[in-house]
Amino acid sequence: MAYEDLRAFIHALEQAGELKRIGVEVDPILEISEIANRVSKSGGPALLFENVKGSHVPLVINAFGSPRRMELALEAGSVEEVAGRIRELVHMKPPEGLFEKLKLVPRLAEIGAFFPKTVSDGPAQEIVRADNFSLLDLPILQCWPQDAGRYITFPVVFSRDPETGKRNCGMYRMQVFDERTTAMHWQIHKQGAEHFRRAGKASDSKMEVAVAIGTDPAVTFAAISPLPPDLDEMLFAGFLRSKPVEMLRCRTVDLEVPATAEFVLEGTVDLNERRTEGPFGDHTGFYSLPDEYPVFRVHCMTHRRDPIYSTTIVGPPPMEDCYMGRAVSRIFLPLMQLQLPEIVDVNLPFEGIFHNLMLVSIRKSYPGQARKVMNAIWGLGQAMFTKCIVVVDDDVDVQNSREVVWKALNHIDPERDIQFTLGPIDALDHSSRLPSFGSKMGVDATRKWPSEGFHRPWPEALRMDERIKALVDGKWEKLGL
């Protein structure tokens, strides 16, 4: 059964021995972050802080911070199971006869059952505060010493395309300026920023926004997923949880939010107002630099009677977001393979923080194919930000970084096999020559063919004779090694 809400997920974590309750008073200014950082780095559990200084609201963090907890979040034995469900969908063949059509009906009905469902009331609006509320009553973290302030780090942000009316849901950090005002970190390439630009062309001076905090894990995961702009994230969340997400109409804005959220912030963004946001200790392991971003003014806050605040901290890997990013890369691999069927596997090592390094193995069929794959990846959605792509043959295990480094460095002639290109760069990249624009590097570490101008012999990798290996296997215990 799908988790109805965040607290059902917390209960499941506790039942699985994956959550630790902490009753000692802790400060949301830096102290919780230091605790969470140490626990994350050591592979520790999710943390539920029940006594947060300055707030009556408990706080949960690191809920997604391990492979096991990601499996629990997605209610799957492995993230590969979810990838398998997507692979079935994308490879669904058109029925050829009446019998095949009848067999397809249950599958189509199943997919139709994932669409979000509007309800008239829900726990997210048990308490409605249009006047007497302050964001500072929430246990919002300051994560790192040089952060510009306290940041909401797990917000599920809803906006509507002013041209098409379609909903978008994304996760964009929110620096708290005061009791009812935050920044809205809509990076230039994100869909929320596109809605902001389109709204600026209309006559209205304000754009409605709603923010859900503390959603069920499928909704949270859908908010960070690199979906096509026209695919509703709540539909994808329904697919993940095999049950539709119940949506509730906001009280003061024309938007819907998950009915079981812990908190909902309703308000507007003035299309003519920007303020300096940052610095912020980011997932790159460095502070992202201050910049001008839209301002979100909160007009109404609704919440459950006994809400739980959900948050995360990012920084030098490994941290909680690494495991979420790893799940994204595994789950969406079938969609990448749909467009690039020669791809065997992909790995985005934690140290590459998901936009600095991608390792790709391919079944090579023609000269120059590795370069074709690089260029195609740079044209795929958020994969366009990948700073360095290394392409290897299909006999290289890209999940084993040591093997990739060994074989790739043996296989390349740097002048011949490295190419550079210019294009969009992640807005958080502090090294690019210009904000959001810079260079990217591709490395063709596949075996080179005569048809690629390589006419020297290509040596075999060292492998022991199978008969000798079996012989030694039989003697291993006697050897005492």
Task: Report CA Rg, the chain.
Answer: 24
Residue 268 backbone phi and psi in degrees, to 5: -135, 155
Contact in structure between 73 and 60 (CB atoms under 8 Å): no
Q: Which residues contact 256 (CB under 8 A, 6 or more apart)?
A: 116, 118, 158, 167, 210, 247, 248, 249, 250
Q: Which residues contact 399 (CB under 8 A, 6 or more apart)?
A: 345, 347
Contact in structure between 270 and 297 (CB atoms under 8 Å): yes
Q: From the CB of residue 406, how many other CB atoms can be counted at a distance below 10 Å? A: 13
361 DSSP β-pair partners = 345, 392
Helix, strand, coil share of the chain (percent; to 5): 30, 25, 40
Contact in structure between 437 and 422 (CB atoms under 8 Å): yes
Q: Which of 282, 321, 417, 426 is catalytic?
A: 282
Contact in structure between 216 and 119 (CB atoms under 8 Å): no
Helix runs in 58-157, H state only: 67-73, 79-90, 98-112
Q: Which residues contact 339 (CB under 8 A, 6 or more apart)?
A: 376, 380
Rounded-to-integer distance, Cα 389 and Cα 442, Å: 5
Contact in structure between 9 and 240 (CB atoms under 8 Å): no
Rounded-to-integer distance, Cα 232 and Cα 216, Å: 16
Active site residue 282: yes
Residue 330 backbone phi and psi in degrees, to 5: -75, -45
Distances, alpha carbon 85 to alpha carbons 64, 88, 105, 226, 348, in Å? 21, 5, 17, 17, 22
Helix runs in 91-164, H state only: 98-112
Contact in structure between 300 and 267 (CB atoms under 8 Å): yes
Q: Give the E-state strand segments of 238-286 in sequence order.
A: 246-249, 256-258, 263-277, 280-281
Residue 308 backbone phi and psi in degrees, to 5: -120, 130
Q: Is the dihedral angle over the CA atoms 416, 418, 424, 429 positive or is it negative?
A: negative
The residues assigned a catalytic role are 282
